[in-house]
Structure 1
Amino acid sequence: MRFAQIEIVLQEVPGEVSICFSITGCPLHCDGCHSPYLWKKTNGELLTTTLFRDILLQYKGFATCVLFMGGEWEPQQLEKLLKIAKIDGYKTCLYSGYESIPQFLKQQLTYIKTGAWNKNLKGLDHPNTNQKFTEVATGKNLNHLFIRP
């Protein structure tokens, strides 16, 4: 699994300070994608277990959640990293363009965003979006947290 960038983000998971890993190799190629550089699997740097643990340690006490922008196309590797994050006390989140993911991945998640980008329906901050942001344990849709009054 490779990543193009790591950022600290505040809006992608409401109420959390998240370490965001943008994973390369996205097979969806959504029309209007804001990150087409993530399509090519060989872009970016290898996300080794050692590097991942070092990053989690670096942000321990500051960040509260680990967010993967993609990676579900490499489910075993993603599961391994999600388990590490949970053991280290982080909440976990996956932004997936798929409508569903394997149950063994869901079991490692606190939150999940599902649904491909549709330029006509926009993202989570639009009331007519096709995307869903869900709290996994309860199944509760949290899209309302992204919509400003």
Structure 2
Amino acid sequence: MYYYSFQIVFQEVPGEISLCFSISGCTIRCKGCHSPYLWKKNSGSLLTVSLFETLLKQYANLATCVLFMGGEWHNEELIVFLKLSKKRNYKTCLYTGEDQVSIELLAELTWIKTGKWNPSLGGLENKKTNQKFIEVKTNKILNYLFIKN
């Protein structure tokens, strides 16, 4: 599994400081995608278990969540990284353009953002969006956390 970028992000998972990996090879290719460079397979660097564990250790007690922007097309590999995250007491999140992911993958997530990008409906900050930010354990839709008063 290849990642195009690694960042520390603050807005994608409300209330969390997240280690964010943007995974390359997206097959969804939403019209109006803000990251079409992620469509190219094997773009970026190989995400190894060794590198991943090093980053988890480096940010322990600083970050609280591991976020994958895509990667569900690498189901088994992604599950390995999510399990490692949970083992180190990180919460986990996946942003996907799909409406559903495998039950095995879902079992390793704290939150999931689902739904293709649709420019006419906007993102999570828009009340009419088709996207959903879901707390997996309760199946609660938490989009309201992104909407400004």
| 1:6-35 CA-partner distances (Å, limit 9, x unpaired) | 000000000000000000000011111000
SS of structure 1 residue aligned to 2:72: coil
1:41 alignment counterpart: 41
Q: Distance in 1 between matches of 2:25 and 2:57?
A: 26
| 1:87-137 CA-partner distances (Å, limit 9, x unpaired) | 000000000100000000000000000001001101000000000000000
- Say if 2:148 is the partner of 1:136: no
Shift of 1:42: 1.9
Q: Distance in 1 between matches of 2:87 and 2:72?
A: 20
1:12 alignment counterpart: 12
2:78 alignment counterpart: 78
| 1:35-84 CA-partner distances (Å, limit 9, x unpaired) | 00100012100000000001111110000000000000010000000000
- Say if 2:117 is the partner of 1:117: yes
Scaled by the length of structure 2, the TM-score of the pair is: 0.99
Q: Distance in 2 between matches of 1:61 and 1:79?
A: 23
> Displaced runs of 4+ in structure 1, greater than 3 A?
none
1:105 alignment counterpart: 105
Q: Distance in 1 between matches of 2:42 and 2:91?
A: 28
Scaled by the length of structure 1, the TM-score of the pair is: 0.99
1:90 alignment counterpart: 90
1:50 alignment counterpart: 50
Q: Distance in 2 between matches of 1:88 and 1:26?
A: 27
Identity %: 56
2:30 alignment counterpart: 30
Q: Distance in 2 between matches of 1:118 and 1:139?
A: 23
Q: Structure 2 regions of 5+ residues with no counterpart?
A: none
